[in-house]
A and B are shown apart, each in its own frame.
Chain A
Amino acid sequence: MISSTSNNYYIRIFLLLFISTVLFSNNLTLNKVQKTWIEQNPEVEYTGDPNWLPFEAFDKNGKYIGIVSDHLKLVEQRTGLKFRHRVVKSWTESLQVATEGKVAVISGDVADKTLNQNFRPIEPYLINPIIIIMDKHQNYVEDLNALKDKKVAIIKDYGYTSELFKQYPKMTFIEVPDIQVGLNGVSNGLYDALLASDALASYSINQMELDNVKIVGKTAVVMEVTLFIDKKKPLLHSIINQAIKSIPSQDHEQIKNKWTHNHNNTHANTVLKWTVSILSTALILILFFTYLAIRKNRKHLAYMKTLVSAQEVGHLGSWQWNMISGELIWSDEVYRIFGEKPQAFPATYDRFMSYIPEEFHEGLEAAIDNAMRTKEPYEFDHLIRQKDGTIRSVREAGYVRFNDEGEPISMLGTVLDINSIVQAKSALRQNEELTELLEKFDTNVIASNTDLKGYITYASQAFCKVSGYGHDELIGQPHNIIRHPDTPVEKLKELWKTIQAGRTWKGELENRKKDGSAYWVESTISPIYNHSDEIVGYSSIRRDITNEKKVEELHQRLKTKSIQLQNLNAELEERIAQAVSLSKQKDHMLAQQSKLASMGEMIGNIAHQWRQPLNALSLLIQKQQIFYERGLLTAEKVQESVEKGMSLINKMSSTIDDFRDFFKPNKQKIYFDIKNAVDDTLELINAALYNQQIKLVLNLQENITILGYKNEFSQVILNLINNAKDVLIEKKIEDAEIRIDSIVENTTIKLKISDNGGGIPQNVIEHIFEPYFTTKEEGKGTGIGLYMSKMIIEENMQGKLYVNNSDRGAVFTISLNVNAKISDGQKEYENE
């Protein structure tokens, strides 16, 4: 195996030298037809994706740039063709332009279905693996299928997407519009992973300055960048295909590196790379001859073999860099660590750096700088990315040799594959995390273990804390030390039965603290098995639910209370219904009493009205006798007396009619004139006021109509005037006066009935509308009048009746809505 490696080694070096010569020769040979075609058609209409860096784009100045652009420039140099770039705003527009046949060449993914219809791709010149980008803490992902349950984003409508679907049928992908959205999504945790082409991803991560994402692996799908040539131009196809193929791989690589790694400093890099490249070729030649020399000395060779094999076993590669000559030698193992076949190509510094992800460049260079300055060995751990995307951890160590003048002359170093070490570390860290988790468990979870008999073998800190026992007070004690005496025996029996049968018991238990107070836990108790599947104890984890219990209890109490409240409410409602019914009866009674009282007052009023005509009648009758006795009674005298008597009797009779009408209940609301109603009422009481020498002042607006029960309204007026009259008489007010004024405001009429009786005392005024409230002497008032008046105005006529004192006396105000319009029919009814 060792010898075969050695043999391969020579072959490879020869091959490499040969290929280099071929590649460096740059011999594009076009035939005559092709050359003629170029002469006749030097200008080629071209377009690409305006926003697809590092592949291609138009920069701020409208200049076409990118990997594709650089390739086209080389094609131009080699063929004499001139690409005229058609500036577009979007890839959609590019496709449209291509479909319409406006361009002869367009760049794209070889798998692009649209382009394949009218265009034929040349052999792809850039193969880009579709890689997986994830959070930087993510370990290497071997197979995309491992991310089956993760949120994996892909960029929409790219040529290679159909291939992804085909190769990973079990995966579901989230489509995102562009690389920026995808990367940001991974960076802020929206997606677990993003799939994108290697070049695009590396370029964009760098551009977007994202430091929390990294490339963790690659898919089996590759994106192949190609140029599509109009199917109708087969000659152009052959020219460009040949031209692209004639570009040496170093140039491809160089262009690619320029755009994906260090696109800022391209010129310096190119120079350096060429220098290194030439030097490495020289180095390989030297190495080759050295080996030939070594071969002569078998001993040396054996030593070399041992070293090589040791390196292979230990995954330790060594290298040597002559800083004067630029010569760099890698041992086979370095190649292996970098995922390459040993000595497959000459080692260069740039080549070395190309395996190292960008983020480590600065650190590594700083370490080397430091080593040169301090003359101390350096050590630097970093990741490398193999060509297939595999990520490995390595430890770089080296030291600088100096000449007598103190100038650095060479560097020696090793590359140690520490992937397994890192994995071990990761395991250690996981172990640490586990320990930490255990600690968290111990401090936060109420947990305990017991032996078969229920003696405590483990008590978590949380358990000690909640129970109030010290750790030592619990260990070795029976678990029922915390059992609450209220716990039902059946429950405990069931518990033991369950766990002894090897099953898990779950339930709520009341426990008792050391201080005797209770706490509730939600408990999960399960058996502990040994390796022979025998139960050796029981383990319990519990959650303190004391507060929840309290809440539940409160809730229960609240429920009970609310039921009580409901009952109470129902009872209350019933009582209210009874009260309302009683109140209705009472109101009815009151109405009756009020009517009786009014009638009593009416009789008083009738008496006043009748007093004078009765007196006149009495005199008339006596006169007959006197005239007869004196012989003076003539037929004429009798006739005259009868007429006078009849007139008086008619007057009295009409008084009766007035009162009877007044007490006739109205069954229907009618429109009536307020002034008329008041005047009619005053007819009934005028005599009484006159007799009591109470002056009545009327100031009523005419033609104000309201809707309501006219007689009830009249009763209220009568009642208010009567009250005023009674007060004026009782207080023996001189120049007693009752005023009735009306004020009309918009649609409201206010009728103010006021007296000069000095007003109502404050302690009386607030009760004045209450039923059975009276200030009058016994037998003079029922205390119903004002209550009924208020009911009539406010309940039956939707108005307001209220009282206040003026400086003269009490003012009762009736406020009612005015109804302007009176239809004839209603008027007729009113007159009935």
Chain B
Amino acid sequence: MKMNNSLILLYIEDDTSIREEMMDILELDFEHIYVAKNGQEGLEMFQKFHPDIIISDIQMPLMDGIRMSQEILSIDPDAKIILTTAFNEQNYLNKAKEIGIKAYINKPVNINELFKKIEALTAPKK
């Protein structure tokens, strides 16, 4: 699989192990990756770097993924967000749909599936 490595990517995850593993993989294909440890940081980085795509966890301290997404969408309604969700986070998922988030991916994350989602979201509109 070959990704458009010119894309700017924002990755938000509070768990260090997951973040490290994910970064090891993402760095293979993306040159511009920004990493945040919670929703607050994520929101600041979004405002600063205007990423093309955002991948975020939901349950995080300070500001969770849902609220952060809400804030981002209020700034840029076209912002492309992928949320990673667990089986027991159905409530959050419903809320995510309500605020207009179209993409999510179940945990444990399947990398191929993640890449497909990124590709689908970032494909130039014809």
Q: Point out the residue from A619, A626, A690, A691 that lies within 8 Å of B109, measured CB to CB.
A: A619
Kindly list chain A residues whose C-beta atoms are within 8 Å of the C-beta of B21.
616, 619-620, 623, 644
CB of B111 within 8 A of CB of A622, answer yes
Query: With the chains together, A608 CA to B108 CA distance in Å?
Result: 13
Q: Point out the residue from B61, B64, B88, B109 that lies within 8 Å of A618, measured CB to CB.
A: B109
Question: Does B98 sit within 8 A of A, measured CB to CB?
Answer: no
A618-B108, A619-B108, A619-B111 given; A648·B17 CB < 8 A: yes
Question: Chain B, 18-53, contact with A by CB distance < 8 Å: what is the 0/1 string?
Answer: 101110110010000000000000000000000000
* Smallest Cβ-Cβ distance to A690: which chain B residue: B59
* Smallest Cβ-Cβ distance to A637: which chain B residue: B24
* Smallest Cβ-Cβ distance to A613: which chain B residue: B17
CB distance from B111 to the nearest CB of A (A): 5
Kindly list chain A residues whose C-beta atoms are within 8 Å of the C-beta of B84.
615
CB distance from A69 to the nearest CB of B (A): 126
Kindly list chain B residues whose C-beta atoms are within 8 Å of the C-beta of A63.
none
CB distance from A258 to the nearest CB of B (A): 129
Question: Does B15 sit within 8 A of A, measured CB to CB?
Answer: yes
Question: Does A188 sit within 8 A of B, measured CB to CB?
Answer: no
Interface members, chain A 606-651 (any B CB < 8 Å): 607-608, 611-620, 622-623, 626, 630, 632, 644, 648
Kindly list chain A residues whose C-beta atoms are within 8 Å of the C-beta of B108.
614-615, 617-619
Query: With the chains together, A614 CA to B107 CA distance in Å?
Result: 9
* Smallest Cβ-Cβ distance to B108: which chain A residue: A618
CB of B25 within 8 A of CB of A623, answer yes
Kindly list chain B residues whose C-beta atoms are within 8 Å of the C-beta of A618.
107-110
Question: Chain B, 84-126, contact with A by CB distance < 8 Å: what is the 0/1 string?
Answer: 1011100000000000000000011111000000000000000
Kindly list chain B residues whose C-beta atoms are within 8 Å of the C-beta of A611.
86, 107
CB distance from A769 to the nearest CB of B (A): 29
Question: Does A676 sit within 8 A of B, measured CB to CB?
Answer: no
In the complex, number of A-B residue pairs with CB atoms less than 8 Å apart: 57
Kindly list chain A residues whose C-beta atoms are within 8 Å of the C-beta of B24.
623
- Please tell me the size bucket of the interface on B: 20 to 34
Of listed A623, A648, A693, residue having the most chain B CB within 10 A: A623
CB of A612 within 8 A of CB of B18, answer yes
CB of A626 within 8 A of CB of B107, answer no
* Smallest Cβ-Cβ distance to A604: which chain B residue: B88
Of listed B18, B64, B87, residue having the most chain A CB within 10 A: B18
Q: Point out the residue from A607, A622, A644, A690 that lies within 8 Å of B25, measured CB to CB.
A: A622
* Smallest Cβ-Cβ distance to A614: which chain B residue: B108
Query: With the chains together, A690 CA to B87 CA distance in Å?
Result: 16
CB distance from B87 to the nearest CB of A (A): 8
CB of A615 within 8 A of CB of B107, answer yes
CB distance from A661 to the nearest CB of B (A): 24
Q: Point out the residue from B17, B59, B88, B111 that lies within 8 Å of A616, measured CB to CB.
A: B17
Query: With the chains together, A619 CA to B19 CA distance in Å?
Result: 10
Interface members, chain B 4-23 (any A CB < 8 Å): 15, 17-18, 20-22
Query: With the chains together, A622 CA to B105 CA distance in Å?
Result: 16
Interface members, chain A 130-178 (any B CB < 8 Å): none
Query: With the chains together, A480 CA to B32 CA distance in Å?
Result: 132
CB of A691 within 8 A of CB of B59, answer yes
Q: Point out the residue from A607, A619, A630, A693 that lies within 8 Å of B59, measured CB to CB.
A: A693
Kindly list chain B residues whose C-beta atoms are within 8 Å of the C-beta of A613.
17
CB distance from B76 to the nearest CB of A (A): 25
* Smallest Cβ-Cβ distance to A693: which chain B residue: B64
CB of B110 within 8 A of CB of A615, answer no
CB of A626 within 8 A of CB of B64, answer no
Question: Chain A, 680-703, contact with B by CB distance < 8 Å: what is the 0/1 string?
Answer: 000000000011010000000000
* Smallest Cβ-Cβ distance to A729: which chain B residue: B91
CB distance from A317 to the nearest CB of B (A): 140
Query: With the chains together, A758 CA to B30 CA distance in Å?
Result: 49
CB distance from B101 to the nearest CB of A (A): 18
Q: Point out the residue from A607, A608, A626 that lies within 8 Å of B28, measured CB to CB.
A: A626
CB distance from B55 to the nearest CB of A (A): 12
Kindly list chain B residues whose C-beta atoms are within 8 Å of the C-beta of A693.
59, 64
CB distance from B116 to the nearest CB of A (A): 14
Kindly list chain A residues whose C-beta atoms are within 8 Å of the C-beta of B109.
615, 618-619
Kindly list chain B residues whose C-beta atoms are within 8 Å of the C-beta of A622.
25, 110-111
Kindly list chain B residues whose C-beta atoms are within 8 Å of the C-beta of A607.
87-88
CB distance from A429 to the nearest CB of B (A): 117
CB of B17 within 8 A of CB of A612, answer yes
* Smallest Cβ-Cβ distance to A608: which chain B residue: B88
CB of B111 within 8 A of CB of A615, answer no
Query: With the chains together, A630 CA to B15 CA distance in Å?
Result: 27
Query: With the chains together, A588 CA to B111 CA distance in Å?
Result: 49
Question: Chain A, 262-302, contact with B by CB distance < 8 Å: what is the 0/1 string?
Answer: 00000000000000000000000000000000000000000
Taking beta carbons and an 8 Å cutoff, which residues of A are in contact with B? 604, 607-608, 611-620, 622-623, 626, 630, 632, 644, 648, 690-691, 693
Given contacts A611-B86, A619-B25, 9 further A-B contacts (CB under 8 A): A608-B88, A615-B18, A615-B84, A617-B108, A619-B109, A622-B110, A626-B25, A690-B59, A691-B59
Taking beta carbons and an 8 Å cutoff, which residues of B are in contact with A? 15, 17-18, 20-22, 24-25, 28, 59, 61, 64, 84, 86-88, 107-111
Closest 5 CB pairs of A and B: A618-B108, A619-B21, A616-B17, A615-B108, A612-B15
Q: List 7 A-B contacts (CB under 8 A).
A: A614-B107, A614-B108, A615-B18, A616-B21, A626-B25, A630-B28, A691-B59
